[in-house]
Homo-oligomer: A and B are copies of this chain.
Amino acid sequence: MVTLAEVAQHAGVSASTVSYVLSGKRSISASTRERVELSIQQLGYHPNAGARALASSRTNIIALMVPLRTDMYVPVMMEIAIAVATTARTHGYDVLLLTGEEGPAAVRRIAGSSLADAMILMDVELHDERLPLLRESGRTAVLIGLPADTAGLTCVDLDFEATGALCVEHLAGLGHREIAVIGEAAAVYERHTGFAERTVDGIRAKAQETGVRVLHRPCEGGYAAMASTLARVYDERPGTTGFIVQNEAAVEPLLNLLQQQGRAVPEDVSVVAICPEQVATQASVRLTSVAIPAQEMGRGAVEQVVAKLAGRGTDEVELLAPELTVRASTGPVQA
């Protein structure tokens, strides 16, 4: 491996000069800079990450903790992760991938070993165990999600309350008066991963405001689960004409089952989904939906991190405004 010293020798300058050329922290004459840069090129020099980290106590690495549960919301997670990684690169950072498995211990480990300059946590629960450790560690951190207590933390998330409200508003505007909400698996609510509950809150509030009746049912993904959930919904509320689905794995089964039951979408029933764009457009009926802005969330989180590391950061909650795209799955209630 080529070292700084070798570059310095090759360029006929001191090591510190090369370092300053690289960092730009002191002024360097044009001629020297060029000579050094040429040497770097010719020798194929890359600074050693470990040495740099040791000397500067900056690793240029951001740790990303993704949930272990691979069974849910996977594409969104992946999209966020990729957005984080690529955005990080544009700011000169690399991303360390941590799975939820280690749990809170990971926070301690990363903070303790100075493996990363900052952390981004995904899938944050309302009372997340990692938060106290995070605060205590003093490490820069940004959450994707919204815990109960955001004091001293920067958070980025979709405004799920507004999302829920938006869906109800759309359906109410079309004349729907009985709405069923097909939610995430019950486990998601039990874990108190805020987003699911916030969506329901938003839905409830707007429903009250607009005089719409709402029935909320969690649902595991897949056909079997959806079938029984749907049966119970119609059992309890035969007059249901609108559905709000916040569960990727339930979208297609729902459409399919409705079709099988001879309920036409959107003539007889309207369906609004809260899901990634791709799911909405690739479904058997092009779905009116609120997209989950995975890219924006990932990018936003990294930008907050970078800002904080540069000392420009603010502790704030950044809620992305939902956007509802009308497609072919919603329409006015039949007279």
By a CB distance below 8 angstroms, the chain B residues around A47 are: 113
Q: Does A329 contact B (CB under 8 A)?
A: no
CB within 8 Å for A99 and B89 given contacts A77-B78, A282-B223: yes
Contact partner of A50 (CB less than 8 A), chosen from B54, B108, B109, B256, is: B54
Tell me the bound Cα distance from A112 to B45 in angstroms.
7
By a CB distance below 8 angstroms, the chain B residues around A54 are: 48, 50-51, 53-54
Tell me the bound Cα distance from A109 to B53 in angstroms.
16
* Residues B253 and A115 in contact, CB atoms below 8 Å apart: no
CB within 8 Å for A49 and B53 given contacts A78-B78, A112-B1, A249-B282: yes
By a CB distance below 8 angstroms, the chain B residues around A101 are: 86, 89
Tell me the bound Cα distance from A121 to B64 in angstroms.
19
Tell me the bound Cα distance from A81 to B85 in angstroms.
13
CB within 8 Å for A222 and B49 given contacts A86-B101, A97-B96, A112-B44: no
Q: Does A296 contact B (CB under 8 A)?
A: no
The proximity string for A residues 28-58 relative to B, scoring 1 for CB distances below 8 Å and 0 otherwise, is 0000000000000000111111111110010
Tell me the bound Cα distance from A253 to B109 in angstroms.
45
Interface residues of A in 88-137 (CB under 8 A from B): 89, 94-99, 101-102, 108-109, 111-115
Q: Does A66 contact B (CB under 8 A)?
A: yes
* Residues A94 and B94 in contact, CB atoms below 8 Å apart: no
Interface residues of A in 53-89 (CB under 8 A from B): 53-54, 57, 59, 61, 64, 66, 68, 70-71, 74-75, 77-79, 81-82, 85-86, 89
* Residues B114 and A86 in contact, CB atoms below 8 Å apart: no
Tell me the bound Cα distance from A324 to B66 in angstroms.
31
Contact partner of A112 (CB less than 8 A), chosen from B46, B59, B109, B111, is: B46
CB within 8 Å for A99 and B79 given contacts A46-B113, A48-B113, A282-B249: no
Chain A interface size range = 35 or more
Q: Does A228 contact B (CB under 8 A)?
A: no
Tell me the bound Cα distance from A285 to B193 in angstroms.
31
* Residues A99 and B85 in contact, CB atoms below 8 Å apart: yes
User: Chain B's nearest CB lies how many Å from the CB of A251?
Assistant: 10
* Residues A221 and B48 in contact, CB atoms below 8 Å apart: no
Closest to A106 in B: B89
A interface, CB within 8 angstroms of B: 1, 44-54, 57, 59, 61, 64, 66, 68, 70-71, 74-75, 77-79, 81-82, 85-86, 89, 94-99, 101-102, 108-109, 111-115, 221-223, 249, 252-253, 256, 278, 281-284
Shortest beta-carbon contacts, A-B, top 6: A46-B112, A50-B53, A222-B282, A50-B54, A97-B97, A49-B115
Q: Can you list 14 residue pairs at the A/B interface with Cβ under 8 Å?
A: A46-B112, A68-B82, A70-B78, A74-B78, A74-B79, A75-B75, A78-B78, A81-B97, A82-B99, A89-B101, A94-B97, A222-B281, A223-B284, A249-B282
| Additional A-B contacts beyond A70-B79, A75-B75, A97-B97 (12; CB < 8 A) | A46-B109, A48-B54, A49-B50, A49-B53, A50-B50, A50-B54, A54-B54, A68-B82, A86-B99, A86-B101, A89-B99, A95-B97
